[in-house]
Structure 1
Amino acid sequence: MKLKDDKKSVEICRAVLSLVAKKGLSGITMSDISREAGIATGTLYVYYKSKDELINALFAACRENSVQVSFKGYNPQLPYKPGFKNIWLNIFRYRLQNFEEAVFLEQCYHSPYITADTREKAQQLAAPFYALIERGQAEQLIKKVEPGLLLTFMMGAMNELVRQTHYSGITLNSTKINITFDLCWDALKA
């Protein structure tokens, strides 16, 4: 029995993220992944029994990482809007700096590859985001609309700006980032 090497695991994950950004989730095969990772296809199957297993494991890891980054520096004792902006900026920067991972996560959200169990875990990881929206609603700062809809709006606008920035090669300055946040805030506030 072959032992698993952490370096190979990292290379496999990098390969998946790179390939998904180029070809899309459904456009990649285990053979593509092994080739991109620089390992034999048989070796890839030592690490993951199937593409589905690999995609689910990577999605769960990426989702957990993104939530941790999102709430970095957040203090629920502080006023709502600065805390909300801190989280918004964390998410925005994370998606800009980890574009391939952001593309992967977005494709997974709408993918038949993700199992019900993995979706449930992702939903549990989203609890802090829902709590944030509900806090804003309780303080009468955020519209009394279903929290999932508000999050969908916020993330959709952010994802589009990240894609435009990535594909156009334009560097965002702090003024444009702050204007974008203000537009988002104005749309969500009560």
Structure 2
Amino acid sequence: MKPKDEGKIAEIYAATLALVKEQGLAGITMSMIAKKAGFATGTVYIYFANKEELLVKLFDKCIDDYTNNYFAGYNPADPFKVAFHTIWMNMLRYSIEHFDEQVFIEQCFHSPFISDETRKETKDRLMPWRELIERGKKEKLIKQHDASWIMLFVRGGVKDLVKHCTYHQLKITTEFKEAMFEMCWDGIKD
């Protein structure tokens, strides 16, 4: 049996991400994905049995990339604000550089294609961030709200910031990033 071509899989994934951004998750078909990737529809079926399998595998890949990037350079032993800054900047950088993936993750997470078990596993991958938030609460550096609400507040702000800047083609400078971080910090600090 001939091994699967990882390059073709990457092209299928890229086509899927672009189509989801353009048309939404429900509006795409395997034939649309094939056409966008420049392949015959049968070629896509060599790699994925159906749309659901394709979406689940792409979701897993995107979540792996996303969570690995979340914690790049993160040291849980750093002072709280330094560690929080690292994660926040990683979140922002990844969301800017991988906007299509962010759109895809958001749509998939709330779709019937992703199981409750996968949703839980996704949340579990973010446990170091949750632990950091709990540490900040324990050290009385941030508000004493449930960690999930703090994480939602922070992540929501980053997502909306990136969406707004992307759709309005606004430049995100280093100074702007730091100013946005300080606004976020002001929103959670105790």
TM-score range relative to shorter protein? over 0.9
The match for 1:34 is: 34
SS at match of 1:27: coil
Shift of 1:2: 5.3
Contact in 2 for aligned 1:48/1:54 (Cα 8 Å):
yes
RMSD of aligned residue pairs (Cα, Å): 1.3
Shift of 1:117: 3.2
**AA of the residue aligned to 1:124:** D
Shift of 1:106: 1.3
Q: Which structure 2 residues correspond to residues 32-181 of structure 1 after superposition, within 5 A?
A: 32-181=32-181
SS at match of 2:145: coil
**AA of the residue aligned to 2:106:** E
SS at match of 2:108: helix
Shift of 1:172: 1.6
Count of residues in correspondence between the two structures: 190
TM-score (norm 2): 0.94
**AA of the residue aligned to 1:17:** L
Q: Measure the CA separation in 2 of the matches of 1:53 and 1:148.
A: 30
Shift of 1:134: 1.2
Contact in 2 for aligned 1:56/1:115 (Cα 8 Å):
no
Q: Measure the CA separation in 2 of the matches of 1:149 and 1:33.
A: 36
Q: Determine what percentage of the aligned residue pairs are the same residue.
A: 42
TM-score (norm 1): 0.94
Query: Which runs of 5 or more residues in structure 1 are unaligned?
Result: none
Q: Measure the CA separation in 2 of the matches of 1:86 and 1:24.
A: 32
**AA of the residue aligned to 2:93:** R
Q: Measure the CA separation in 1 of the matches of 2:123 and 2:42.
A: 33
